[in-house]
Amino acid sequence: MTFEDLQIGSILVSTVRNAPVLIFAGMAGLFAERSGVIDIGLEGKILASAFVSAAVAFATQNPWYGVAAGMLVSVLLATLQAYVAITQKGNQLVAGIAINIAMSGLTFVVAQFFFQQGGRTPDLGQARLFDVVLPGSAAVEGIPFIGWLYAHLIGGHSVLVYLAFGLVPLVHWVLYHTRFGLRLRACGENPHAADAAGVSVERQRYTAMLIAGVLCSFSGAYLAIVQSGFFLRDMSAGAGYLALTAMVFGNWRPVYTFLGCLMFGFFGAVQIQIEGVDLPLVGRLPGSLIQMVPYVVTVIVLAGLMAKSVAPKALGTPFVKSR
């Protein structure tokens, strides 16, 4: 394969398919961090929900049972994280990292115990969530560009893809146009002022963490039930950290965070496309070097934007009620 053989259309479709994992996690992180809680435990919750979703979907042969089970375990982990960070005033970074490390090992051990396949689950087969074919796709598929746009770029994706893209305007509306969103942002900016106005800071932060747990579960379910069709150890491959980077890129705003997720999805798609391709001047790159692309982009984004991004003022600061 040569450089000229690369298909821009395939890259764009792959971008749409790669982005939902990051979008769900990015929106989850937004709720948590806008309330003032650092949610570095996104990675662990993605892994836990991916494993449970795949295991339950395989056992029941019903993908929606898998999605529900993954949601339950992600919410339980979010509740534990909230208890440590909010009620016990513990170190939020340590709590999140502990969840990530624990889930990385625990999912592998439990998968090996139950399935004896080297820490992975069996292929889901018909228990996967399959793509949605939009009405009229066959009729327009032969039309140049329009057929591809409608049948492949807009259509032909799992229902979770549409949920992810539809989630962005919903999150924006909740955060900026509802009373709940106003109180949530107040707890992240000035919790003492919110408390003086009669807002329960702890309740708002717990609610934000539970919402984050629900949204994060969709990332894991998408990985296992849609993209891969099985669970594999550490299959999230840093998606939780990439989502956090997209959030910094987006300055803790839903639409810009979404654009950051698309950016990382695009580079992930390019990474897949250039494997085995003869590039001009440099030739064929080693696979290990190609796999570094999204993470190199992460470092560049953080180095260039971290100083310019303005986080919620109370982010990472435990709330102690004034007497």
The model's pTM is 0.92
CA 265-213-250 angle, 5° bins: 40
Calculate the CA 43 to chain-centre distance: 8
Could you report the per-residue pLDDT of 270-319, keeping only the tens digit for each? 877 777 666 666 667 676 676 777 777 777 776 766 557 788 899 988 88
Q: What is the pLDDT of residue 4?
A: 36
Going from N- to C-terminal start, the domains of the chain cover 8-123+143-305
Structure confidence at residue 223 as a pLDDT band (50, 70, 90) = very high
Return left, alpha or beta for 290; rule: phi > 0 is left, psi -120 to 50 is alpha, else beta.
alpha
- Tokens encoding 78: 């979010």
* CATH architecture for the domain at 8-123+143-305: Orthogonal Bundle (1.10)
Please, are residues 275 and 14 in contact by the beta-carbon 8 Å criterion?
Answer: no
Rounded-to-integer distance, Cα 215 and Cα 227, Å: 17
Count how many Cα atoms sit within 13 Å of the Cα of residue 211 in the half-sphere of its side chain.
Answer: 24
Please answer whether residues 134 and 150 qualify as being in contact, where contact means their C-beta atoms are separated by less than 8 angstroms: yes
Residue with more model confidence, 210 or 8: 210
Residues 74 and 49 sit within 8 Å (Cβ to Cβ): yes
**3-class DSSP assignment, residue 137:** helix
Which helix (H) or strand (E) segment is 226 a member of? none
Instruction: Express each pLDDT in 155-164 by its tens digit.
Output: 888 999 999 9
Nearest 10 degrees: Cα torsion 154, 157, 160, 164:
-30
- Rounded-to-integer distance, Cα 204 and Cα 29, Å: 15
Rounded CA separation 26/244 (Å)? 6
